[in-house]
Amino acid sequence: MKDHAQLPTIDIATLAEHIEKQDAFVVDLRSTSHGDMIYGSIRYEPKKLAEAEKLMLPLPKGSGLIVLYDEDGKSDRLASLAADLARDGYGEIFALDGGFDAWKAAGGRMQERSMEQPVPAVTEHQITR
Protein backbone atom coordinates (compact mmCIF):
# COMPACT_ATOMS: atom_id res chain seq x y z
CA MET A 1 0.00 0.00 0.00
CA LYS A 2 1.28 3.46 -0.87
CA ASP A 3 0.18 7.07 -0.69
CA HIS A 4 -0.99 8.53 -3.99
CA ALA A 5 -2.73 11.90 -4.24
CA GLN A 6 -3.31 12.04 -0.44
CA LEU A 7 -5.22 8.77 -0.51
CA PRO A 8 -3.45 5.54 0.38
CA THR A 9 -3.68 2.87 -2.29
CA ILE A 10 -3.96 -0.88 -2.15
CA ASP A 11 -2.42 -3.11 -4.80
CA ILE A 12 -4.31 -5.69 -6.84
CA ALA A 13 -2.82 -8.75 -5.11
CA THR A 14 -3.59 -7.43 -1.63
CA LEU A 15 -7.16 -6.54 -2.57
CA ALA A 16 -7.65 -9.98 -4.14
CA GLU A 17 -6.61 -11.56 -0.80
CA HIS A 18 -9.09 -9.39 1.10
CA ILE A 19 -11.87 -10.23 -1.35
CA GLU A 20 -11.22 -13.95 -0.85
CA LYS A 21 -11.33 -13.46 2.94
CA GLN A 22 -14.48 -11.36 2.51
CA ASP A 23 -13.16 -8.64 4.80
CA ALA A 24 -13.16 -5.69 2.40
CA PHE A 25 -15.96 -3.47 1.18
CA VAL A 26 -15.22 -2.61 -2.44
CA VAL A 27 -17.01 0.38 -3.96
CA ASP A 28 -17.31 1.00 -7.72
CA LEU A 29 -17.14 4.75 -8.38
CA ARG A 30 -16.58 4.72 -12.11
CA SER A 31 -18.21 7.64 -13.90
CA THR A 32 -20.08 5.16 -16.07
CA SER A 33 -20.56 1.54 -15.16
CA HIS A 34 -21.07 -0.88 -17.97
CA GLY A 35 -20.04 -4.46 -18.32
CA ASP A 36 -18.37 -6.27 -15.46
CA MET A 37 -17.40 -5.06 -11.99
CA ILE A 38 -14.78 -6.20 -9.51
CA TYR A 39 -16.11 -9.27 -7.70
CA GLY A 40 -18.04 -8.39 -4.56
CA SER A 41 -18.14 -4.66 -5.24
CA ILE A 42 -21.14 -2.40 -4.85
CA ARG A 43 -21.90 0.47 -7.20
CA TYR A 44 -22.55 4.09 -6.22
CA GLU A 45 -22.91 7.06 -8.55
CA PRO A 46 -19.96 9.32 -7.61
CA LYS A 47 -21.87 12.55 -8.30
CA LYS A 48 -24.70 11.55 -5.95
CA LEU A 49 -22.21 10.70 -3.20
CA ALA A 50 -20.35 13.98 -3.69
CA GLU A 51 -23.58 15.97 -3.44
CA ALA A 52 -24.85 14.19 -0.33
CA GLU A 53 -24.99 16.35 2.78
CA LYS A 54 -23.93 13.40 4.94
CA LEU A 55 -23.05 9.83 4.01
CA MET A 56 -24.96 7.08 5.79
CA LEU A 57 -23.91 4.02 3.79
CA PRO A 58 -23.95 0.30 4.65
CA LEU A 59 -20.17 0.30 5.15
CA PRO A 60 -18.13 -0.22 8.32
CA LYS A 61 -17.66 2.83 10.53
CA GLY A 62 -14.60 3.34 12.69
CA SER A 63 -12.74 0.31 11.38
CA GLY A 64 -12.96 -1.99 8.44
CA LEU A 65 -11.34 -1.89 5.03
CA ILE A 66 -13.10 0.17 2.35
CA VAL A 67 -11.59 0.15 -1.15
CA LEU A 68 -12.74 2.69 -3.73
CA TYR A 69 -12.08 2.31 -7.43
CA ASP A 70 -12.65 4.23 -10.61
CA GLU A 71 -11.53 3.57 -14.15
CA ASP A 72 -7.78 4.06 -13.68
CA GLY A 73 -7.15 5.12 -10.07
CA LYS A 74 -6.24 8.66 -11.11
CA SER A 75 -9.44 10.63 -10.58
CA ASP A 76 -9.52 13.39 -7.97
CA ARG A 77 -13.02 12.27 -6.98
CA LEU A 78 -11.58 9.24 -5.16
CA ALA A 79 -9.64 11.41 -2.70
CA SER A 80 -12.58 13.79 -2.35
CA LEU A 81 -15.08 11.00 -1.62
CA ALA A 82 -12.61 9.30 0.71
CA ALA A 83 -12.32 12.57 2.66
CA ASP A 84 -16.14 12.75 2.89
CA LEU A 85 -16.30 9.15 4.14
CA ALA A 86 -13.55 9.77 6.71
CA ARG A 87 -15.28 12.95 7.92
CA ASP A 88 -18.49 10.95 8.39
CA GLY A 89 -16.74 8.33 10.52
CA TYR A 90 -15.88 5.56 8.06
CA GLY A 91 -12.81 3.39 8.62
CA GLU A 92 -9.71 2.50 6.65
CA ILE A 93 -10.21 3.92 3.15
CA PHE A 94 -7.99 3.06 0.20
CA ALA A 95 -8.04 3.51 -3.56
CA LEU A 96 -7.27 0.58 -5.82
CA ASP A 97 -3.90 1.26 -7.43
CA GLY A 98 -4.52 1.47 -11.18
CA GLY A 99 -8.30 1.22 -10.75
CA PHE A 100 -10.60 -1.09 -12.67
CA ASP A 101 -8.39 -1.07 -15.77
CA ALA A 102 -5.45 -2.54 -13.83
CA TRP A 103 -7.68 -5.10 -12.09
CA LYS A 104 -9.10 -6.27 -15.43
CA ALA A 105 -5.66 -6.37 -17.09
CA ALA A 106 -4.37 -8.53 -14.22
CA GLY A 107 -7.22 -11.01 -14.69
CA GLY A 108 -8.84 -10.15 -11.36
CA ARG A 109 -12.06 -11.88 -10.37
CA MET A 110 -15.14 -10.21 -11.85
CA GLN A 111 -18.92 -10.21 -11.54
CA GLU A 112 -21.72 -9.00 -13.76
CA ARG A 113 -22.77 -5.41 -13.24
CA SER A 114 -25.18 -4.95 -10.38
CA MET A 115 -27.76 -2.28 -9.72
CA GLU A 116 -26.52 1.08 -8.52
CA GLN A 117 -27.12 1.50 -4.81
CA PRO A 118 -29.17 4.51 -3.71
CA VAL A 119 -27.51 7.10 -1.50
CA PRO A 120 -29.71 7.13 1.63
CA ALA A 121 -31.27 10.47 2.50
CA VAL A 122 -30.26 12.05 5.79
CA THR A 123 -33.15 12.45 8.20
CA GLU A 124 -33.66 15.49 10.43
CA HIS A 125 -32.34 13.70 13.54
CA GLN A 126 -28.96 12.97 11.94
CA ILE A 127 -26.16 15.45 12.44
CA THR A 128 -25.01 17.23 9.31
CA ARG A 129 -21.46 18.15 8.43
Per CATH, which fold does 2-111 belong to? Oxidized Rhodanese; domain 1 (3.40.250)
Predicted local distance difference test score (pLDDT) of residue 120:
60
At 114 the pLDDT is: 66
Average pLDDT per block of 10 residues along the chain, 129 residues long: 68 96 92 84 86 79 90 90 88 94 96 68 50
pLDDT tens, position by position, 83-92: 988 888 888 9
Percent of the residues in the chain that have a pLDDT greater than 70, as a whole number:
82
- Residue extents of the structural domains in the chain: 2-111
Helices then strands, each counted (H, E), the chain = 4, 8
Supply the pLDDT for residue 3.
41
Which amino acid appears at position 115 of this protein?
M
Cβ count near 121 (within 10 Å): 10
Q: What is the DSSP letter of 67?
A: E
What pTM does this model have?
Answer: 0.82
